[in-house]
Structure 1
């Protein structure tokens, strides 16, 4: 899906007017507003039902805008930018004094990234070139995932419409997201880099650039970052993780009790006559991540009493999707 010139012009006009635009990125769709406009940013929180102290990620058109938003950027951050931007990597840096508290959740840090999606980049370039108020040529778009707070992130424009409907004036359709889960977040504000949210860019990728493998610190702490709440990415249907060797026995026991399950598996195809809705995802972590949120969303609509997900392999390559499923299970069935 390639937006027209008129689509881009309308999106820029809305952003400059302080309105919201849902935008595609390679990770998930974001709910965007002018990051230099606190009143516009407040509309993100209102549309999502998001806590006001929860920080946002600012999306930029390129590296040259970083110094406008962040101060005393360490060499390690520049190394990561050169290696992974544009791409699914967010860096936490000490913010410039002018950056609105609405974006940072009142913290002294800001999350920045250059997305690796041609539609997002074109919009960011046009928005920066429009010469609006605030950051001007270094303008950024604050954009958390375009869904109700705590729910399943959207990976298509149709998912955004389902989640937010008429709460937003425009969805810029860029087709399905390539990665399918949120960006890796690396904190570069406290000395040695620390992974605060795992993602498509894995620790071994970071190690290849840095010469050391950064530690992973996914619990809520300082600084707070997007996606760090214990319950997140969650369907409304209760969700349970079940080991592969126990999966069929568990489903049979649920069936005998009259329960209807919706199943997401990566190693076990459904048996003939299996009455449960069943989604077989790729058995590799990249393919699984790409399909995960769509599968969760479909199974949430399946009319089941319980979503049953086959537990993932324990090796480090599955860290990011395991993180999303753990948080989804913690928040599932609420609301």
Structure 2
């Protein structure tokens, strides 16, 4: 098994050059790329055989990145994340929460939904966090399956089609059983709240 710094370096080199990676997230294994690179995002849609009208979510590693993408963020968003992200020592207990927020900017246009929203999750998971520190950009995260198929819970359940279709497979956490996908909450600027997935 490789070490985290080596894997961050390897993944960054691929992403920097417009590639896509298969990597462990704070929930399930994901397919990812630079969220500002439209061509890389298109590669993921093609691999997943997914209609690009179905937007994908992005991961971010902190407030600075969030405000680079969203000019306005409801106070309620931070309250929800505080409740769903316990202290670092309790990472295993956390229930990841994705928020769909209004009016993103500075990201690839093909990950923005038709209603001008974008799903985003703040992560503390060490590999993702360190990779985004290196990228200084958000990271696309979508489940490692062809659209319509079951989301794999372990690395072994990921099909060869997906593994062979990415430019790099991160060599970490291959034996872990993934937690459930995140809760998804749509939160508009006027503080309307809609639960999309519990």
Tell me whether the two structures share a fold, i.e. TM-score over 0.5. Answer: yes
The equivalent of 2:132 in structure 1 is 124
**Is the Cα contact below 8 Å between 1:25 and 1:177 reproduced in 2?**
no
Matches within 5 A, 1:315-334: none
The equivalent of 1:188 in structure 2 is 187
The equivalent of 1:169 in structure 2 is 167
TM-score, structure 2 length as denominator?
A: 0.85
1:200-235 CA-partner distances (Å, limit 9, x unpaired): xxxxxxxxxxxxxxxxxxxxxxxxxxxxxxxxxxxx
State the 1:10 CA deviation: 1.3
1:109 aligns with 2:79: no
- Higher CA-based Rg: 1
Q: 1:66 to 1:4 in 2, by over 3 A?
A: closer
- SS of residue paired to 2:98: strand
Structure 1 Cα separation of the partners of residues 77 and 4 of structure 2: 35
Taking only aligned residues, the RMSD between alpha carbons, in angstroms, comes to: 2.1
Structure 2 Cα separation of the partners of residues 108 and 49 of structure 1: 22
What number of residue pairs does the alignment pair up? 188
Matches within 5 A, 1:304-315: none
**Is the Cα contact below 8 Å between 2:154 and 2:178 reproduced in 1?**
no
TM-score, structure 1 length as denominator?
A: 0.52
Equivalent in 96, 99, 102 of residue 91 of structure 1? 99
Structure 2 Cα separation of the partners of residues 178 and 149 of structure 1: 21
Stretch deviating more after TM superposition (33-42 or 178-187): 178-187
- Please, which runs of 5 or more residues in structure 2 have no aligned partner? 87-93
More strand by proportion, 1 or 2?
A: 2
State the 1:26 CA deviation: 2.5
